[in-house]
Structure 1
Amino acid sequence: MNVSTSLNVFDASVSRPEAVRRCAATGFASLDMNYWDFQKDVLRMSPQEEEAWARDIRASADAHGVRFTQMHGPVHGPCFAKLALDLGLDDYTKLVERSLRTAAILGVPWVVFHPTNVTGEEGEAYRDVLEFNVGFYRKFIPLLEATGVGIALENLTDRRHIRSYFSLPEELAELIDTLNHPLAGACWDTGHGHRQSVSQTAGIRTLGTRLKATHIQDNDGVSDQHILPYQGTINWTEVVQALRSVGYEGDFTYETHNSIRNLPDGIRDSGLRYAHDLGNYILSL
């Protein structure tokens, strides 16, 4: 495992090629591209403009000796019936396809997506939600096979009175097994699992060899805080030992922007160096 970070440690005022350069300069050889931070921008671009944008980012990665090992794809909102940015399902489908093509340009092997409820209404049946998600993500398999890019479906978090399906690792495993394709895997979000009161060992071992990506973040078990390890209450020795026990081959990828992006820019690079050192310490446990 390499310690990796999402580029969302920098807000949009810093160009993605410059964000790549600064992450590389602070020790990161592996990166995550947060596509969903730029959903509004992408929707204003032509496909040709998006391709040029992606190629500029890839050129920066190549020039600075880093590679993208994950990407966070577009996020659809609280449920499929209430999509972000007031998109219709067809428009969101096209955005997913665009993100996968951009991932291929960046050399990303796994793009993370959120499986979720359909209507968001109380009483929605799990089997109906499972069937809908299988049908939705299965439609991308021809594009996955054409590009070689995989999708990693992420465990969510459920703190509302209405069940948010796929917050439990058993549900996520069933979705991936039903898709039954080598380019469909899982992403384990440590913060979501902690907030869900799922032990890191149980979550990671349930997903087992399905696990292709990680979102490493800490919290207090109540809020989804996206902070660095040891700033919350997760047991990080447990996380690392569980990842090793299932033979996880991906990266230890931070989604900890609230510990870095909120710093004054003049000290942000120092925060990144600390984060890199901290990750390597955890991986030595």
Structure 2
Amino acid sequence: MKNALKFLPLLLFLPLLASGQKRLNEVGAVYGAIRSMTPEAYKEAHDKYGIRWIEAWTGNLTGGTEEQYDAWIERFNNAMKGSGLKLWSVHLPFTRKAPNDLSDDRPEWREATFKNWIEILDRATRLGKFRVVVVHPSSEARISDEERPRRLENLREMLLRFIPLVKERYNAAVAVEDLPRGCLGNSSSDFEWLVANVPDIKICYDTNHLLGEESHAFAERFAPYIANIHVSDYDGVDERHWMPGRGIVEWPKVIDILMRSGYDGPFMYEVTPRNDPRGSVEYMRQTTDSLFTRYALYKKQRAGEK
């Protein structure tokens, strides 16, 4: 009886996954959410806490020496080996201390970013096969209304080269992430322009970044372009990267949009204990089950209203 009760939340929404989204209920995590990059911690994340996918941060594959890259890649691969975890995506760096901005007004900085990111991705192929490359449309910046069209055009010109190369060289999609504050990509209007002017663009939907509009409204608007998600909650004032349920995100609506759109990626958490005491792999599976149970009840209630 205990085992049956344990899987009751899962049983409630399994019929809802019959439409083909095979991975939506599979939990993923950014690698920083796992307590340490060791074989023991990675295997525990998979076997004990139900984590299936991982997004690798590639900041460790730039700004160093070949020996440092080799050492980090070896550590990552050793942790992954035999763990059961699979690599889903890689996240390119966005710090302003180095060339990491395809929208920058300096042509030489944009070209250096392009070169830097391809070198990083070449190194990242040694981590395994990744399906999605997550990029920020800009570094952290306060971009004014006056300069925003120019920065978007800079980004467009670079993505027209970057996206086809990533597809050809790595057989991966480029997913541009929505950002908060004054960054590029902080609103639906920026993404409306991008999807209209950049063929094959995909979106990494970060659920806690939209400060000027409702998170689920953004998802509804761009659902066909979403190739990756970063799951966390916030207060609408700033990004918080809290565990879902602590903030204002309307999760049944978000899940409903992803289900209807055919999104077929994992439920990728971008939370860490630094942001939330519960922001670790120990709580991700049970949180996901709770969210999908709420979604099943939401669907049942909506069906009853018709």
Q: Which of structure 1's runs of 4+ aligned residues deviate more than 6 A?
A: none
Q: Which amino acid aligns with 2:32?
A: N
* 8 Å contact from structure 1 (residues 118, 132) kept in 2: no
Equivalent-residue separation in structure 1 for 2:254 and 2:50 (angstroms): 22
Equivalent-residue separation in structure 2 for 1:246 and 1:137 (angstroms): 24
Instruction: State the partner residue of 2:191.
Output: 172
**Identical-residue share of aligned pairs (%):** 19
> How far off is 1:66 after superposition?
1.4
Which 5+ residue runs of structure 1 have no aligned equivalent?
none
Equivalent-residue separation in structure 1 for 2:140 and 2:160 (angstroms): 16
Instruction: State the partner residue of 1:32.
Output: 55
Instruction: State the partner residue of 2:4.
Output: none
Cα deviation, 1:206-242, whole Å, max 9, x if unaligned, reads 1121100001111111121111011222211111111
Structure 1 counterpart of 2:177, from 120, 133, 154: 154
Instruction: State the partner residue of 1:138.
Output: 160
Instruction: State the partner residue of 1:43.
Output: 63
Equivalent-residue separation in structure 2 for 1:66 and 1:180 (angstroms): 32
Matches within 5 A, 1:232-251: 232-251=247-266
Instruction: State the partner residue of 1:100.
Output: 121
Question: Does residue 1:274 correspond to 2:295, yes or no?
Answer: no
Matches within 5 A, 1:199-218: 199-218=214-233
* 8 Å contact from structure 2 (residues 233, 242) kept in 1: yes
State the Cα RMSD in Å: 3.1
Which 5+ residue runs of structure 2 have no aligned equivalent?
1-23, 296-306
Instruction: State the partner residue of 2:17.
Output: none
> Larger deviation: 20-29 or 220-229?
20-29
Secondary structure in 2 matching 1:139: helix
Larger Rg: 2
Instruction: State the partner residue of 2:208.
Output: 191
Equivalent-residue separation in structure 1 for 2:141 and 2:84 (angstroms): 44
Structure 2 counterpart of 1:252, from 260, 264, 267: 267
TM-score, normalising length: structure 2: 0.73
Equivalent-residue separation in structure 2 for 1:219 and 1:96 (angstroms): 30
> How far off is 1:180 after superposition?
0.5
TM-score, normalising length: structure 1: 0.78
* 8 Å contact from structure 2 (residues 233, 240) kept in 1: yes
> How far off is 1:27 after superposition?
1.7
Cα deviation, 1:132-161, whole Å, max 9, x if unaligned, reads 001222332324311112210011113xxx
* 8 Å contact from structure 2 (residues 166, 173) kept in 1: no
Q: How many residues align?
A: 262
Secondary structure in 1 matching 2:208: helix
